[in-house]
Amino acid sequence: MKPNFSGLRALVTGAGKGIGRDTAKALHASGAKVVAVTRTNADLVSLAKECPGIEPVCVDLGDWEATEKALGGIGPVDLLVNNAGVALLQPFIESTKEIFDRSFNVNVRAVLQVSQIVAKGMINRGVAGSIVNISSMVAYVTYPGLTTYCSTKGAITMLTKAMAMELGPHKIRVNSVNPTVVLTDMGKKVSADPKFAKKLLKRHPLRKFAEVEDVVNSILFLLSDSSASTTGSGILVDSGYLAS
């Protein structure tokens, strides 16, 4: 059953492409007022055409000051999806400060910053809320080249728990969704080597990667009252990979 979010306002980061775009569209279709945040304005223009009424915000979430300026006065938000992320791959031994800082700024620091802005508003209004952070199954397992990326996703696991701990008394739930490969632009890049992709696929008990829709459905579940007693937790959307 699709949830009904009528009367609620949702903010989705990384709403221009991939999982974030389909999440914004699903929330719009479920009756929510949607604030779509991303970096490329053309994506927001096309999204606003598809979903009239969506509020576009164009900002680089890796830039703390720009994010504060763009979102500091965003107003009431009931549902937050921290989805924006970058997968910048480097072997451990060649890892650079630039890639490390950029990855942590977008994948982790922005989650803290945007959640702070939104949670403060929820607390001030005295309303319940739900926050979903998009992590990854590589919060738990890794592959060569993913040192920095999987470290950001591991950090999201603890950030999710820490936020759940402190925001729980305010009736704000915080959970994560942890997908395996999803063949978005990012997923295609990460699994571009056909030999690696084939080997990886074989290790999934369901012999498939995840579909965007599977991830979106888990996000909607965690945003909705159907998961009213779930917080500090995560849903694996991994075609069974971690069982293998």
**Residues annotated as catalytic (active site), given as ranges:** 149
Q: Is 39 in the site for ligand NDP (CB under 6 A)?
A: yes
Q: Please, which of residues 190-219 interact with ligand NDP by CB under 6 A?
A: 190
- Beta partners for residue 234, in sequence order: 176
Spatial CB neighbours of 186, under 8 Å, sequence gap ≥ 6 = 18, 85, 87
CA gap 163, 141 in Å, rounded: 23
Spatial CB neighbours of 159, under 8 Å, sequence gap ≥ 6 = 108, 111, 112, 133
Least separation in angstroms between CB 40 and ligand NDP: 3
Q: Is 85 in the site for ligand NDP (CB under 6 A)?
A: yes
Look at the block and give the residue holding tokens 């999204």.
47
Least separation in angstroms between CB 121 and ligand NDP: 20
CA gap 161, 173 in Å, rounded: 10
Q: Is 176 in the site for ligand NDP (CB under 6 A)?
A: no
**Which residue number, 63 or 76, has a Cβ lying nearer to ligand NDP?**
63
Q: How many residues bind ligand NDP (CB under 6 A)?
A: 29
Least separation in angstroms between CB 145 and ligand NDP: 14
Q: Is 25 in the site for ligand NDP (CB under 6 A)?
A: no
- In angstroms, the Cα distances linking 154 to 133, 135, 234 are 12, 8, 12
Residues that bind ligand NDP (CB under 6 A): 14, 16-20, 38-40, 43, 60-62, 83-87, 106, 134, 136, 179, 181-182, 184-187, 190
